[in-house]
Structure 1
């Protein structure tokens, strides 16, 4: 398929107005006041000056805002995102002009048409992290080869749900002619299905970067002939009935407007009803529908409603064939966030069949 797809990327910033400048000699408190007043700040001299300002901003906001409950953490992150994205960095000839800056290959790869512009410091941090992941690859316990996630593509940092799916696939004894992977992301579920003998997998994603990244990753290998892709929501152009439909949906209901990577984490109220309606049309009579989910929304009191339980109780389309769950490993000691709910978190594998 053509790779002429519009990528999702940070919009280059061109500013004509005077910016506040920040270096190691600047007054941090006055700079943060400027940010709160909506004034953009340009980092000068060293890359580490940007890190210094971000650290000071975090400390300031942690003192100003409570940060214990799940909801308070969301509010803290929203304020941090708003202010930190007023901190800018200058790019000239696809390189950061700050001394001791990292080399970020995405600047040339994503912006071939413009070489001089500004981006926010958090965007630069995101591009830098994404470049390291892409260049070095990420090991996933259920796959032999590393994945190389493209910029802006969601990839898992915990693997309990993938291990649950892998164990289920080992015992799967149905037909393996075709499968559909809704929201393919970095492709892990599809690679697992190919590993266990599926002849053809159709994968969709609303994020164009996910599709472009997979096209590049697969190249002209056997994988590229076994996995067919479509930039689309839910089932896209794939209308044929299939033996297996797999969906690893977002695990939390949304509370704000989403950007593309957030769509991998938060779902809107129409996602599950639309998915189940489309799945009913595309699942063969003896096919199976597998959803990977979590009780995260319930244990963090974000929602009392479980969308899969609701479908089984009210939808009239599917019945439960199997249900597996696995306790999630406790949060890393390195994390500063209070994640006491992790002790109660379980990932779930739901297998539904036609009624």
Structure 2
């Protein structure tokens, strides 16, 4: 595994000379107009002032943009992301320089070489949430122990697909000498495979935070001897053939704007053709390819193409052994977003074998 990995982190911003300031007495309309004009605003006095301005920005955008269909929600989030990241907050000596702000350990952990800088308010919120998850851990139904996800690493917040995979593993009767987990993320699928008796799992990820976080999480435990990691695209350095390849890819085709963590959610056009071509080389003759997917892109009209169905009809490399489906749990009543499509959403577990 590559040891010299550069972590993804919010880019520190140099303090500018002329930045408008926002506190309780600032005119809200003036502040919103400043953001719309593409100019930054610095939160001062209290952390809650940042929350107030974000709320006002949301109200402003909702009055200007429709936010009903799945596509409209993507556009709304894109505009909100752009404008909200102009709201800045100051970090001094690895602490937020406003009163009643949270203590975020990532500021020291991720920025050892710099102590004073600016970050956008949404980035600080993300760091704060991530620190809580990292410190307190997250319970996953399919795992005995809590996850402690590293900053910038995708982890599951819904578990239907994990239950589907766990049920499949319980019935799996093939050899358990080795497996490859492509896009290991926070390690959940690999942990499930180890729990079900796999002797060795080789994991890859293009996200450096996933690799660094898992290495830290596993430490010198038994897991670290069973799971080997590589920072690389698709199969990385793993060339040896194996009896099981597991892939939980992004479920939606990419739009034009993507952050690094979005790569866990949105896939690029060549991802699946490249994956299937490489998987063919690494799957033993009697091996199985397990892909965890969803019909989300189809039911939200993002695309009519299903990349796994396309491979089976056109690729000539694999044949379908079975496809298991599970209706997802209904959206929470507390969610403010219109998610009517969730009623017809299904997670899918595809089992493919060599032709």
Q: Which residue does 2:13 correspond to in 1?
A: 13
The answer on whether the counterparts of 2:104 and 2:131 sit within 8 Å (CA) in structure 1 is yes
Q: Which residue does 1:121 correspond to in 2?
A: 121
The answer on whether the counterparts of 1:12 and 1:117 sit within 8 Å (CA) in structure 2 is yes
Whole-angstrom distance in 1 between the partners of 2:7 and 2:290: 30
Residues 311, 2 of structure 1: CA spacing in aligned structure 2 closer, same or farther, 3 A cutoff? closer
The answer on whether the counterparts of 1:183 and 1:205 sit within 8 Å (CA) in structure 2 is yes
Whole-angstrom distance in 1 between the partners of 2:37 and 2:226: 53
The answer on whether the counterparts of 1:328 and 1:345 sit within 8 Å (CA) in structure 2 is yes
Cα deviation for residue 3 of structure 1 reads 4.1
Q: Which residue does 1:293 correspond to in 2?
A: 293
Whole-angstrom distance in 2 between the partners of 1:186 and 1:110: 18
Q: Which residue does 1:266 correspond to in 2?
A: 266
Cα deviation for residue 259 of structure 1 reads 1.9
Cα deviation for residue 334 of structure 1 reads 1.1
Q: Which residue does 1:141 correspond to in 2?
A: 141
> Per-residue displacement from partner, 1:289-328 (whole Å, max 9, x unpaired)?
0000000000000000000000000000000011100000
> Per-residue displacement from partner, 1:44-99 (whole Å, max 9, x unpaired)?
00000000000000011001110001111011111101110000000000000100
Q: Which residue does 2:83 correspond to in 1?
A: 83
> Per-residue displacement from partner, 1:167-216 (whole Å, max 9, x unpaired)?
00000000000000000000000000000000000000000000000000
Q: Secondary structure at the residue paired with 2:260? A: coil
> Superposed, which structure 2 residues align to 1:314-353 within 5 Å?
314-353=314-353
Moved more, 217-226 or 255-264: 255-264
Q: Secondary structure at the residue paired with 1:261? A: helix
Q: Is 2:189 the partner of 1:197?
A: no
Q: Secondary structure at the residue paired with 2:89? A: strand
Q: Secondary structure at the residue paired with 2:90? A: strand
Cα deviation for residue 4 of structure 1 reads 2.9
The answer on whether the counterparts of 2:94 and 2:108 sit within 8 Å (CA) in structure 1 is yes
The answer on whether the counterparts of 2:323 and 2:351 sit within 8 Å (CA) in structure 1 is yes
Q: Which residue does 2:227 correspond to in 1?
A: 227
The answer on whether the counterparts of 1:131 and 1:151 sit within 8 Å (CA) in structure 2 is yes
Q: Which residue does 2:311 correspond to in 1?
A: 311
The answer on whether the counterparts of 1:3 and 1:215 sit within 8 Å (CA) in structure 2 is no
Q: Which residue does 1:95 correspond to in 2?
A: 95
Q: Which residue does 1:104 correspond to in 2?
A: 104
Q: Which residue does 1:170 correspond to in 2?
A: 170
Whole-angstrom distance in 2 between the partners of 1:53 and 1:4: 39
Cα RMSD, aligned residues only: 0.7
Q: Which residue does 1:217 correspond to in 2?
A: 217
Q: Which residue does 1:27 correspond to in 2?
A: 27
Q: Which residue does 2:161 correspond to in 1?
A: 161
Cα deviation for residue 5 of structure 1 reads 1.3
Whole-angstrom distance in 2 between the partners of 1:328 and 1:217: 29
Q: Which residue does 2:243 correspond to in 1?
A: 243
Cα deviation for residue 2 of structure 1 reads 5.9
Whole-angstrom distance in 1 between the partners of 2:337 and 2:264: 21
The answer on whether the counterparts of 1:160 and 1:347 sit within 8 Å (CA) in structure 2 is yes
Whole-angstrom distance in 2 between the partners of 1:65 and 1:18: 30
Whole-angstrom distance in 2 between the partners of 1:239 and 1:261: 26
Q: Secondary structure at the residue paired with 1:194? A: helix
Whole-angstrom distance in 1 between the partners of 2:163 and 2:43: 43
Q: Secondary structure at the residue paired with 2:338? A: coil
Moved more, 220-229 or 249-258: 249-258
Whole-angstrom distance in 1 between the partners of 2:129 and 2:185: 18
Whole-angstrom distance in 1 between the partners of 2:260 and 2:2: 21
The answer on whether the counterparts of 2:289 and 2:352 sit within 8 Å (CA) in structure 1 is yes
